Copies of this chain bind each other. A is one copy, B any other.
Amino acid sequence: MNQPKKLNTPSVAPIKCSQCPIRHRAVCARCDDDELEILESMKSYKTYAAGDVILWRGEPLEFVASVVTGVATLSKTMEDGRTQMVGLLLPSDFIGRPGREQIEFDVTATVDVTLCCFDRPRFESLVCETPHIAQRLMELALDELDAARDWMLLLGRKTAREKIATFIEMLARRSSHGQDGSKDVIDLHMTRDQIANYLGLTLETVSRQFSALKKDGVIDFSDRKHFTVEDIAALQDETGDDADGGVVY
């Protein structure tokens, strides 16, 4: 076992949960000071430029991490180049699979990304000894699974218009910092081509659907990467989802 001993740093103020980036997804909401200090001791930050590949499929996983800033994508590619994104990592999302040595997809930064990384072996020994963290990681895995299944419905059955509406609605919900958030300027972060790969479309279709939604007054673009939702009700109608929600993403 190589989990760190409690460090002797009395002059340093106790580490606050707010300083523990993994808390972004509440992993350590229930951590005590000792556990937080252990996390702190194995923590380091890594940054990646837009376009950098963070992890290649099959590469050994040396760390687990949470996204502090930026956006990264999980994607699978076929021999002939067809690509499908299988996940989107926004700030507070977690990278890593408890007990897995490697991942089955590429992780790529779409804009500059900062990760808060934890040494994997040390993180895993902490997890082994801390059931509430293990439990939280299980919740994260099940959330991802629910999101993946919602996306399967989108990929298999939704029209291009519904796909785009769903995507925009998800971005609006996930990036709204306000309580209402309906008129925030939202950053797309991705190119039309990347969005197409996420939605199982081509970049031309993405562009056309954006134009159509703009023409219909549902959204408005300030520039190519920034838009506002002008009619949230219409947007939700277009997604094809039940009004009541229950969708995770």
Residues of A whose CB lies within 8 Å of any CB of B are 58, 74, 76, 78-80, 82-84, 86-87, 97-100, 104-105, 128, 131, 134-135, 137-139, 141-142, 144-146, 148-153, 155-157, 199-200, 240-242, 246, 248
A76 contacts B134, CB within 8 Å? no
Which residue of chain B has the shortest Cβ distance to A58 in the bound complex? B246
Chain B residues lying within 8 Å of A156, measured Cβ to Cβ, are 84, 155, 199-200
Top 6 A-B pairs, shortest CB-CB distance: A156-B200, A155-B155, A148-B148, A86-B149, A84-B156, A155-B156
Number of copies: 2
A142 contacts B105, CB within 8 Å? no
Chain B residues lying within 8 Å of A84, measured Cβ to Cβ, are 152-153, 156-157
Chain B residues lying within 8 Å of A97, measured Cβ to Cβ, are 142
A137–B153 Cα distance when bound, in Å, is 25
A104–B153 Cα distance when bound, in Å, is 12
A104 contacts B246, CB within 8 Å? yes
A126 to B: closest C-beta gap in Å = 13
Decide: A104 near B138, CB < 8 A? Known: A128-B131, A200-B157, A240-B78: no
Chain B residues lying within 8 Å of A246, measured Cβ to Cβ, are 58, 104
A78 contacts B134, CB within 8 Å? no
Chain B residues lying within 8 Å of A153, measured Cβ to Cβ, are 76, 78, 84, 86
Which residue of chain B has the shortest Cβ distance to A87 in the bound complex? B149
Chain B residues lying within 8 Å of A144, measured Cβ to Cβ, are 145
A248–B74 Cα distance when bound, in Å, is 17
